[in-house]
Structure 1
Amino acid sequence: MTDFSLFLNEGIIHILDLDGLDHFYFIISFCILFSFKDWKKIIGLVTAFTLGHCMTLFLSGLELVTINANSVELLIPITILLSCLNNFYVLFNNKQSKQQLITTYIILLIFGLIHGLGFSNYIKMMLFDEESIILPLLGFNLGIELAQLLIVAGLLTVLSALQLLFKSKIRWIRLAINALIFLLVVMMML
C-alpha cells in the first residue's frame, strides 16, 4: 500500500471512528439546515472546512504552528456549539440569507483550522522524520473529505425520508436533532 493510499484510508477511518463523535456532530451541525437540492452549497461548506483543516495540518506538520492540545480540545466542542447556536437562530427565524451563507463558509474555514489542530499531533505521530509530508497529508485530507461527504449523504437521506413522512414538521425535527447535538456536546465537554 502506498503512503498516499495508507493515509487516505487513515483519513476515512479517523472521521468514521465512533470513538471520535465530535467530528460527526460537527458535520451534522453544519449540514442540518440543508437538503439534497442544496448539494452544491454543502460540497462548498464541506470543502471550506477541509481547506482550513488541511492548511493547519500542513503548517503543523511543517512545525510552523503549534498550540496547546488542551486548548484545542476545548475549542473543538465550542465550534460545534457555535454551529448549533447558528442553527437555532436560522430555524427559529425560518430563513437563511445569502450573507449568512457566505459568513458560514468563512466560519467553517476558521473552524477547519481549529479542528485541524486537533489532528496535528495524531498525524505527526504517523509521519517519519525523513518522510515528505505532502503526499501523506494530501491523502489524509482527501480521506477526511470523502468520509465527511459520506456522512453528509447519510444525513441528507435521513432528513429527506423524514421530510416525506412528516412534511410540515421537518423544521421541528431539525430543531430536535440540533438540540440533541448541542446537549451531547455539552455533556462531552463536562
Structure 2
Amino acid sequence: MSDFWMYFQLAWKHVIDIKSYNFILFLIALAVPYSFKEWRKLLLLLAFFAIGELVVLLLSFFGIVIIKLNLKESLIPITILITALFNLFVIGKSHKGNGINLIGFFVLFFGIIHGLGFSNYFKSVTTGNLSAKILPLFEYTLGIQAAQIVLVLLVLIVSYIVQNFFRLSKRDFILVSSSFLIGVVLPEIIKIIL
C-alpha cells in the first residue's frame, strides 16, 4: 500500500505542479464550456483523455514510442491553444445532437500528447525490470486521473460561482477564460517556434 501511495502522490504532485502549469491550463480549457449539469460529458472526455495518456505511457514504457523532450514540450501548449480556440468558435452554439465523437477524438489525441509529457518523468522515478514497473504505472496513472478530476471539479465550482453569484453569463465566462488561456500560451508557442 505504501508503494501505491508513493506513486499516486508522485503523479498528483506532477499534475498540480505550478512550475509545469501547461497541464493545468489544458484541463481548464477542457472544462470551461461545461457545467455541473453536463458532468457525464465531461467525465467521458476525461476518460478519453486518460485512455490516450495510458496508451502512450505503456508504449513509451516498453520503448515502442520514443519522442524528443523538446517536441513534447512544444506540442502541449498547442493542445491548449487549439482547445481554447475551439471554445471560442463554438461559444453559444447548441451541442444538442452533435454527440461527443469529434471532441472525444481530439481529446484522446491530446491525451496521447500529454502522456508523452509524463512518460520521461515516470521512467525517471521507477526502477527495476519491466514487469516490476507495470503495477507502479497503473498506480501512477490513478494519481494522474485523481488530480485531473479534482482540477476539473475546481473549474466547475469557479464557473458556478462566477456565473451565479457574479452574474457573468456562461458565454462571457467561456470567452474570458479561453481568451486568457490563449494569451498565456501564445507567447510560449511563439518562443518555441522562434
Please classify the TM superposition score into its range, dividing by the shorter chain length.
over 0.9
Answer yes or no: is the 8 Å Cα contact 2:57–2:119 preserved in 1.
yes
CA contact 1:50–1:112 (8 Å) conserved in 2: yes
User: What residue number does 1:115 align with?
Assistant: 114
TM-score computed with the length of structure 1 as normaliser: 0.93
In 2, Cα distance between equivalents of 1:67 and 1:12: 23
How far does residue 99 in structure 1 lie from its aligned partner after superposition? 3.0
SS at match of 2:25: helix
Aligned to 1:46: 46
Q: Structure 1 residues 9, 50: closer, same or farther in 2, change over 3 A?
A: same
Match for residue 105 of structure 1? Answer: 104
Letter in 2 for 1:44: L
Give the AA of the match of 1:56. Answer: V
Amino acid at match of 1:109: L
Structure 1: runs of 5 or more not aligned: none
Where does structure 1 differ by over 6 angstroms across 4 or more consecutive aligned residues? none
Structure 2 residue aligned with 1:61: 61
C-alpha distance in 2, partners of 1:172/1:7? 39
Equivalence for 1:128: 127
Contact kept in structure 2, 1:88 and 1:178, CA below 8 Å? yes
Residue 162 and residue 49 in structure 1: after superposition, are their counterparts in 2 closer, same or farther (change >3 A)?
same
Instruction: Report the AA paired with residue 90 of structure 1.
Output: V
Note if contact 2:56-2:115 (Cα within 8 Å) is conserved in structure 1: yes
RMSD after superposition: 1.6
Q: Distance in 2 between matches of 1:89 and 1:97?
A: 16
What TM-score, normalized to structure 2?
Answer: 0.91
The unaligned stretches of length 5 or more in structure 2 are: none
Match of 1:160 in 2: 160
1:54-83 residue CA offsets vs partner (Å, 9 max, x unmatched) = 111111111111012111111111111111
Structure 1 counterpart of 2:27: 27
Describe the SS at the equivalent of 1:63: coil
Contact kept? 1:3, 1:135, Cα under 8 Å? no
CA contact (8 A) 1:28 1:152 kept: yes
Query: Secondary structure at 1:33's aligned position in 2?
Result: coil
Displacement of 1:167 in angstroms is: 4.0
- 1:73-111 deviation line (CA, Å, top 9, x unaligned): 1111111111111101111x5333543632111111111
Q: Which residue of 2 aligns with 1:74?
A: 74
Preserved CA contact (<8 Å) 1:53 1:114: yes
Distance in 2 separating the partners of 1:66 and 1:151: 29
Tell me how far apart the structure 2 counterparts of residues 65 and 105 of structure 1 sit (CA, whole Å).
22
Paired letter, 2:112 = L
Letter of the 1:14 counterpart: H
